[in-house]
Amino acid sequence: MAERKPITSWLTDMDGVLIHEGIPIPGADAFIKRLRDSGLPFLVLTNNSIYTARDLHARLQRMGLDVPVENIWTSALATAQFLDDQRPGGTAYVIGEAGLTTALHDIGYVLTDHDPDYVVLGETRTYSFEALTKAIRLINAGARFICTNPDETGPSAEGPLPATGSVAALITKATGKDPYFAGKPNPLMMRTGLNAIGAHSETSAMIGDRMDTDVLAGLEAGMQTFLVLTGLTTVADIDRYPFGPSHVVESIADLVDLVELPDQADQPTAENRD
């Protein structure tokens, strides 16, 4: 295997890596501080499309994690970037929250239920039968079907909640049309994120807690991948997949020293940390 280049930019998932059910995971604050002190480009990613980057900045700040707005990348932003590239100034019928509608407004999209170019499905806690029926009819009439992410369930204090992927499956069953998913594990989300911070995959790393989204997306985008065991995936789960992460660590706390500060001459490598 060819020797990997030093890591000069970092991408990390949010839920399960930095926070868990609204509580910071030990070491997350030190990792974010180290990233900011290093001056290296980085992004905090989430497949959740409910919140805007500004919302998430405020939520994380209340937890003691100071992540600038420009360092947050959501599936809603990746979806908007994709649509702006595909059809600038288009129209869309949207099922989702402020994170998605704001991202589409910011690229100049008109949100309408009259002959839209796209039906865009995102995360919401209030999916309505009326809205889903309208989406199905618009897709049957020719609108292209786009979905922010394929996650079938999401976390809550009471247990799993149905998420965007589950609702997308309902629409697909009713229309016979599969959506295009813009979020993880689509490497598009990673590549547009890397472009946003001027980073290159060969010198970037992805940290996540899920094999089927975080690790897969990082792998397909050509990055080193770090699986943390503070989220949904256990060591026993890893062998269920035909691919593996570059490295497995207990938590984000184990990666703090891998972020190189400007005055460091010698930096521990991922290989001698395993």
Token representation of residue 124: 């919401």
CA distances from 117 to 63, 86, 139, 143, 199 (A): 39, 11, 9, 5, 32
Strand partners for 146:
120, 180
CB 206 within 8 A of CB 225: yes
b (16+ CB within 10 A) / e for 119-141: bbbbbbeebeeebbeebbebbee
Q: Is 254 a catalytic residue?
A: no
What DSSP designation does 15 have? B
Angle at 240 between CA 236 and CA 245, to 5 degrees: 80
Helix (H, G, I), strand (E, B) or coil at 248: strand
Q: Give the whole-angstrom CA distance, residue 140 versus residue 130.
A: 15
Q: According to DSSP H, which parts of 112-163 are helical?
A: 129-140
End-to-end CA distance of the chain: 17
Strand partners for 120:
94, 146
Which helix (H) or strand (E) is 43 found in, with range? strand 42-46
Q: Is 117 a catalytic residue?
A: no
Q: Give the whole-angstrom CA distance, residue 89 versus residue 109.
A: 5
Token representation of residue 205: 């790393």
In the set 13, 117, 209, 214, the catalytic residue is 13
Any idea which residues carry the catalytic annotation? 13, 15
